[in-house]
């Protein structure tokens, strides 16, 4: 593909050699003369000047260089992601049901559906147009999979789960398992029946080995466009809003509510009934206590989670403790000398 063609497809302008042939994409530090890379902010912008990339996708205000071929974009990273899809297109789905797959009674299969080897689909399930179910998947009864949704190999979806259009579920994730609900009677734990459902919105992506539990009663829901990383756990009756981003190894306890566009870092723990309001940011490794409210737009860090400025002040104070300890020891020594005198 030529630079001119790529720029036109991205709806962007270019500078330099529009006829240069491009064969792929690569990071700044390894890109060659026939590859595309992109210019980020800060240190990455400085690295770009020394890159051997044949073409750079750069911000509108990045300084021009006479010997550089550059495509200008308001959001270079986003444009680069789109460019990658041109060089590495998604594999085309091969419609059909593999002979080893097991399809239950009254299953509705939309046009262009693909069901892989040894997959199992329960009775009364509905698969929309161009749904792809990978090898070894288990899909329960009365499940709805929206148009264009993809289940990678070995995904498990329990009964009575609704999954929207364009959803992507990666290998090993489990949707609709029982929530962690027990009651104590006569010094023994007894299971509290988990009879609710799971609803997953359009264009949600759920990473490998993540789990979304069904509600005890009612619904566990994940809103449109939300992205869960690998090994994320969403417990019973959680309500995750639209376009939320959650990094790996984060856990939501039962009944947690998360507002739209919140950003949650890796290894975050959130207690029962906590509320994370829209566009809040939870730093990696922080802990949100039971019933805590993180206000809209607030940035919190640490355990227990607190505003970022306060967290940084406390870290600075902790760093001074060894010095303070030495100063106190010196003062005690001097006081002892005075008392002896």
* Active site residue ranges: 236
State the pairing for strand pair 96-97/174-177. unpaired
Tens digits of residue pLDDT in 211-263: 999 999 999 999 999 999 999 999 999 999 999 999 999 999 999 999 999 99
- Mean pLDDT score, 177-201: 94
pLDDT of residue 90: 73
Cβ atoms of 167 and 203 closer than 8 Å? yes
Q: What ranges in 284-320 are assigned the alpha helix state H?
A: 308-319
- Mean pLDDT score, 260-278: 97
Distance CA 183, CA 131 (A): 40
- pLDDT above 80 for 43: no
Tens digits of residue pLDDT in 294-321: 999 999 999 999 998 888 888 888 888 9
pLDDT of residue 280: 97
Continuous segment of H or E residues that includes residue 87 = helix 76-87
Tens digits of residue pLDDT in 121-179: 999 999 999 999 999 999 999 999 999 999 999 999 999 999 999 999 999 999 999 99
The strand pairing partners of 161, in sequence order, are 198
Q: What percent of the chain has pLDDT over 70?
A: 99
- pLDDT above 90 for 67: no
pLDDT of residue 310: 86
Q: What average pLDDT is seen over the chain? A: 93
DSSP result, 1-48: -BHHHHHHHHT-EEES-TT-B--EE--TTT--TTEEEE--STHHHHHH
Tell the burial category of 151 from Cβ atoms under 10 Å away from its Cβ (0-12, 13-18, 19+): buried
């Amino acid at each position: 593909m030529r630079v001119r063609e790529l720029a036109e497809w991205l709806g962007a302008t270019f500078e330099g050699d529009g006829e240069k042939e491009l064969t792929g994409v690569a990071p700044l530090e390894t890109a060659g003369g026939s590859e595309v890379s992109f210019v980020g902010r800060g240190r990455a912008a400085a690295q770009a000047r020394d890159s051997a990339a044949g073409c750079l996708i750069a911000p509108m205000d990045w300084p021009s260089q006479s010997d550089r071929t550059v495509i200008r974009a308001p959001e270079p990273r986003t444009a680069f992601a789109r460019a990658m899809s041109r060089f590495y297109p998604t594999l085309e789905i091969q419609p059909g049901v593999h002979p080893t797959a097991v399809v239950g009674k009254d299953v509705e299969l939309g046009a262009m559906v693909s069901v892989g080897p040894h997959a199992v689909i329960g009775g009364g399930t509905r698969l929309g147009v161009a749904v792809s179910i990978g090898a070894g998947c288990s899909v329960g009864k009365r499940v709805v999979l929206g148009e264009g949704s993809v289940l990678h190999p070995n995904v498990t979806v329990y009964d009575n789960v609704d999954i929207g259009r364009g959803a992507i579920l990666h290998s090993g994730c489990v949707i609709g398992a029982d929530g962690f609900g027990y009651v104590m009677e006569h010094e023994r734990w007894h299971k509290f029946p988990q009879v609710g459902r799971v609803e997953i919105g359009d264009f949600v992506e759920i990473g490998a080995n993540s789990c979304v539990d069904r509600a005890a009663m009612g619904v566990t829901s994940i809103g449109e466009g939300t992205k869960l990383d690998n090994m994320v756990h969403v417990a019973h009756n959680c309500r995750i809003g639209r376009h939320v981003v959650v990094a790996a190894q984060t856990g939501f306890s039962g009944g947690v509510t998360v507002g739209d566009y919140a950003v949650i870092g890796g290894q975050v723990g959130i207690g029962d009934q906590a509320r994370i309001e829209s566009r809040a940011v939870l730093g990696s490794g922080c802990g949100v206590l039971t019933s805590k409210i993180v206000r809209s737009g607030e940035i919190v860090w640490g355990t227990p989670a607190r505003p970022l400025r306060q967290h940084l002040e406390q870290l600075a104070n902790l760093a001074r403790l060894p010095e303070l300890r030495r100063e106190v020891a010196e003062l005690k020594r001097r006081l002892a000398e005075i008392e002896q005198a």
